[in-house]
Amino acid sequence: MILSDDFISEIKEKNDISEIISEYVDIQRKGRNMMGLCPFHAERTASLCVYPANGSFYCFGCGVGGDVITFLRLIEHYDYIEAVKYLAERVGMSVEVSEEENLTYKKKLLIYEINRETAKFYYKCLIGKSGIKAREYLSLRGVNNNMIKRFGLGYSPNDRYSLIDYLKKRGYNVKDIMLSNLAFTSRSKKEIDRFSGRLMFPIIDVRGNVIAFGARSLSGEKPKYINTSDTLVFKKSSNLFALNFAVKSGKQNLILTEGYMDVVALHQAGFKNAVATLGTALTPFQAKLISRNVEEVILSYDADEAGQKASERAIKILKDNGLRVKIISMPNCKDPDEYLRSQGKNGAFKFSSLIEKSKNDIEFKLENLKSLCDISTSEGKIKYLTESAKILSRCKSTIEREVYALTISSEIGVSKEIISIQINKYIKQNQKNSLFKEFKNIEKSTCAFNDDINKEKRNNLRAALAEENLLSCVINNPGLANTIFSKVDENYFVTEFNKKIFICLKDIKSKGRKLDISTISSYEFSVKEVGRITKIICSYNSYMGQDEYINENISILRQEKEKNRFQNINNISETEIQNYIKKLNKS
């Protein structure tokens, strides 16, 4: 290894894990450890535990875990070398790695470079002769030159070879251009540009790197919008268009839209905190990204039926990630771009008024529900009352429920007390459902029902638990490692995943390296697997280091190994079976 254990240990010592994690998550001290809401899945009860003593973290909700390097890899989508370099630079240390270890990092830098050069090419095409049609389109949509420059808008020529030829002349090979997803191989086995005849929108991350492109058809070609597919530097589900500008706007909220043109129009009108999803419905990853920057989101989705349904889905995802949500209503207009243009010079002022009048998520849901119910009829009133009670039963605030219940009471002429009874009925039902769900999750976790990391654990639960106990003892008590290694070897392990960890630990010990999660994660383990190993490490208690406990678990492994030999009776002699029966009768 080029990166020595001492070097990694020094980086971890100088970068306190609780300090790093607190930059992304609000963590509170609980005894010797710290707890907070996990940034990797939606939750309302803190299940992320940070262990400052050994420099690790683990989420008891989703199972992610590791050291400070793993945390950065997960939350920033860094590879191993990028995370180490970031931490080293943070404390004034330098990193030197081999070509092999640096390959992925260099590939990422190359993709950034190719994307930046491509953005320049598209921009030149837009302002040149070939971009007349694209410029006419932008003019028709009211986009001025300042916005074209601000967003680096461009045009991809109809010629399917223009970009490839341009990049090749600048020394980039076709293989790397394809790695950037800017080209692909056609049926005729020729490499051609991925985008052609389209208006181009560079997608830029918060560090200023061009990571991908969105492309709008100008000829009516379907689909209307296409995006760069996932690459080493880009994941569509984890990024937002114009977030690089929005985080610098100084605003405490974001305006979330569905389209690139909506964002451009809003920025031109002075709303520099507008962002958009990248051609897909809002994802939990995007919501997590938003929650790291602001506490409130103003939804400005399309006013059509699809847009309203998308708003409903987005509200839940945003709320689950601890964000306040408000929803803008745009009368007689489909989207923010159309609304701003329809209002002419007063567009910005009018849109500001819409923001001021925006409804919270409860008001939005109740209004949508009311539009679907004819409350002039008994049947409509019953439906409205029943469904609104379900909505209000999910409100955390008693005061909030009371206020809305009073409003509904005056709307449909039913006493507030009756509405409150219905709300409380659903609250109890929700609590029961929640407890049942928690019970089922614990039940599945206990029996390893959905274990996708150690898939053999479910059918070998006793052996797997004993394996994990011994692994935890080795890592937490390196002084006992040789004792355990002398009494049991990898052939006693029933599950392949735990066997892989055991072999790794033996190798680490034989090389005199440090037995910790950082050293282990430098071996061939995925981020998910590192999380499971962290859980095994954190399950340790002082009594587990006692000889009696260790011998008991070794005994279990020997019993399970012997028991497994008899699973296939055809491979066992009659004498062996008789001897095994005698042993069982004595025990």
Residue 582: band (very low, low, confident or very high) from pLDDT cuts 50, 70, 90? low
* Number of separate domains in the chain: 5
According to DSSP, residue 204 is labeled E
Phi, psi of 94 (to 5 degrees): -110, 150
Residue 563: band (very low, low, confident or very high) from pLDDT cuts 50, 70, 90? confident
What's the rounded mean pLDDT across residues 542-550? 87
Same domain, 462 and 432: no
Report how far residue 277's alpha carbon sits from residue 255's, in angstroms, rounded to the nearest whole number: 11
Which amino acid appears at position 319 of this protein?
A: K
> DSSP readout, 511-544?
TT---SHHHHHTSS--HHHHHHHHHHHHT--GGG
Residue 304: band (very low, low, confident or very high) from pLDDT cuts 50, 70, 90? confident
Same domain, 220 and 106: yes
Report how far residue 85's alpha carbon sits from residue 64's, in angstroms, rounded to the nearest whole number: 22
Residues 273/298, Cβ–Cβ less than 8 Å: no
Asked if residue 386 is part of any domain, the answer here is: yes
Q: The CATH number of the domain where 107 resides is what?
A: 3.90.980.10
pTM over cut 0.85: no
Same domain, 533 and 558: yes
Residue 530: count other Cβ atoms within 10 Å of its Cβ: 24
Same domain, 419 and 493: no
Asked if residue 481 is part of any domain, the answer here is: yes
Question: Which segments within 341-484 are labelled E, that is strand?
Answer: 359-360
Report how far residue 79's alpha carbon sits from residue 235's, in angstroms, rounded to the nearest whole number: 14
Asked if residue 453 is part of any domain, the answer here is: no
Same domain, 271 and 225: no
Per-residue burial over 177-209, b if 16 or more Cβ lie within 10 Å, else e, is bebbbbbeeeeeeebebbbbbbbbbbbbbbeeb
Q: The CATH number of the domain where 344 resides is what?
A: 3.40.1360.10
Asked if residue 282 is part of any domain, the answer here is: yes
Point out the domain boundary residue: 48, 69, 90.
Answer: 90
Residue 2 has pLDDT above 60, yes or no: no
Asked if residue 568 is part of any domain, the answer here is: yes
Residue 57: band (very low, low, confident or very high) from pLDDT cuts 50, 70, 90? very high
Residue 453 has pLDDT above 90, yes or no: no
Same domain, 270 and 327: yes
Report how far residue 164's alpha carbon sits from residue 486's, in angstroms, rounded to the nearest whole number: 60
- What residues make up the domain containing 273? 243-360
Residue whose C-alpha is closest to residue 299's, from 331, 335, 272: 335
Asked if residue 539 is part of any domain, the answer here is: yes
Side by side, which strands form the sheet with 33-36? 27-30, 33-36, 48-51, 56-59, 65-67
Mean per-residue pLDDT of the chain: 88
Same domain, 465 and 578: yes
Same domain, 221 and 276: no
Report how far residue 329's alpha carbon sits from residue 298's, in angstroms, rounded to the nearest whole number: 11
Point out the domain boundary residue: 190, 212, 234.
Answer: 234
Same domain, 162 and 264: no
Residue 447: band (very low, low, confident or very high) from pLDDT cuts 50, 70, 90? low
Report how far residue 250's alpha carbon sits from residue 245's, in angstroms, rounded to the nearest whole number: 10
Residue 438: helix, strand or coil by DSSP?
helix
Report how far residue 568's alpha carbon sits from residue 450's, in angstroms, rounded to the nearest whole number: 26
Asked if residue 452 is part of any domain, the answer here is: no
pLDDT in tens, 182-217: 999 988 888 999 999 999 999 999 889 999 999 999
Same domain, 249 and 135: no
User: Which of 104 and 432 is assigned the larger pLDDT?
Assistant: 432
What's the rounded mean pLDDT across residues 425-432? 90
Report how far residue 538's alpha carbon sits from residue 258's, in angstroms, rounded to the nearest whole number: 42
Phi, psi of 450 (to 5 degrees): -110, 30
Point out the domain boundary residue: 306, 335, 360.
Answer: 360
Same domain, 106 and 227: yes
Asked if residue 448 is part of any domain, the answer here is: no
For residue 182, what are the contacts with CB-CB under 8 A and spacing of at least 6? 114, 115, 118, 163, 167, 193, 194, 195, 213, 228
Residues 276/259, Cβ–Cβ less than 8 Å: yes
Instruction: State what percent of residues in the chain have pLDDT above 90.
Output: 56
Same domain, 579 and 501: yes
Report how far residue 172's alpha carbon sits from residue 108's, in angstroms, rounded to the nearest whole number: 14
